[in-house]
């Protein structure tokens, strides 16, 4: 039988605080390199998705990033103003907006790869530990990411 941790109101006992502090530390580590290429961390996430697969809809990007269109739209407008992406209505569905990389946006991919390499070095995790941690976080997201969902 699995033994769950005891309930606590001590900050040091909270997984949520450890995740919050880790997230802030990681994001802060990204900031200087992202400043050099003129991106915020959320913009960098959008760019990574577009480097992975260009010409995605706003809805597709929002789903992958867990962001609503109210949050994503201003971010995409700033990327468009910076000349990194274009936005256009899809011919097959006028209600759908497609986001595509410009040449300038595509050219940042190598810089993104260098940022990824720096972060991997900073974490100092072996590949199997990296994969295990990522898998545990994905499980956590799946379990708590949907409000009202029953847990097993």
List of domains in the chain: 39-107 (1.10.10.10), 109-141 (no CATH)
**Segment 92-109, tens digit of pLDDT:** 777 788 999 999 999 999
**Segment 112-143, tens digit of pLDDT:** 999 999 999 999 999 999 999 999 999 999 99
CB atoms within 10 A of CB 37: 16
User: Does the global pTM surpass 0.95?
Assistant: no
CA–CA separation, 106 and 100 (whole Å): 10
Q: What percent of the chain has pLDDT over 70?
A: 95
Instruction: Write out the two tokens for 17.
Output: 């605080």
Say whether pLDDT at 42 is over 80: yes
User: What's the pLDDT at 152?
Assistant: 44
The band of 147, judged by pLDDT with boundaries at 50, 70 and 90, is low
CA 104 to chain centre: 21
**Segment 48-75, tens digit of pLDDT:** 999 999 999 999 999 999 998 899 999 9
The band of 149, judged by pLDDT with boundaries at 50, 70 and 90, is very low
User: Torsions phi, psi of 99, nearest 5?
Assistant: -115, 130
Nearest to 79 by CA among 45, 31, 33, 114: 45
């Amino acid at each position: 039988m699995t033994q769950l941790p005891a309930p606590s109101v001590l900050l040091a006992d909270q997984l949520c605080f450890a995740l919050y502090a880790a997230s802030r530390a990681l994001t802060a580590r990204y900031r200087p390199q992202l400043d050099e290429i003129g991106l915020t961390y959320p913009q960098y996430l959008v760019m990574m998705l577009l480097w992975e697969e260009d010409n995605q809809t706003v809805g597709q990007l929002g789903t992958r990033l867990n962001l609503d269109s109210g949050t994503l739209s201003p971010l995409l407008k700033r990327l468009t103003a910076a000349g990194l992406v274009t936005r256009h209505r899809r011919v097959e569905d006028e209600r759908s907006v497609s986001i595509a990389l410009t040449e300038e946006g595509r050219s940042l991919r190598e810089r993104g790869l260098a940022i990824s390499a720096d972060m991997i070095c900073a974490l100092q995790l072996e590949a199997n530990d990296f994969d295990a941690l990522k898998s545990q976080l994905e499980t956590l997201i799946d379990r708590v990411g949907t409000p009202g969902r029953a847990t097993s």
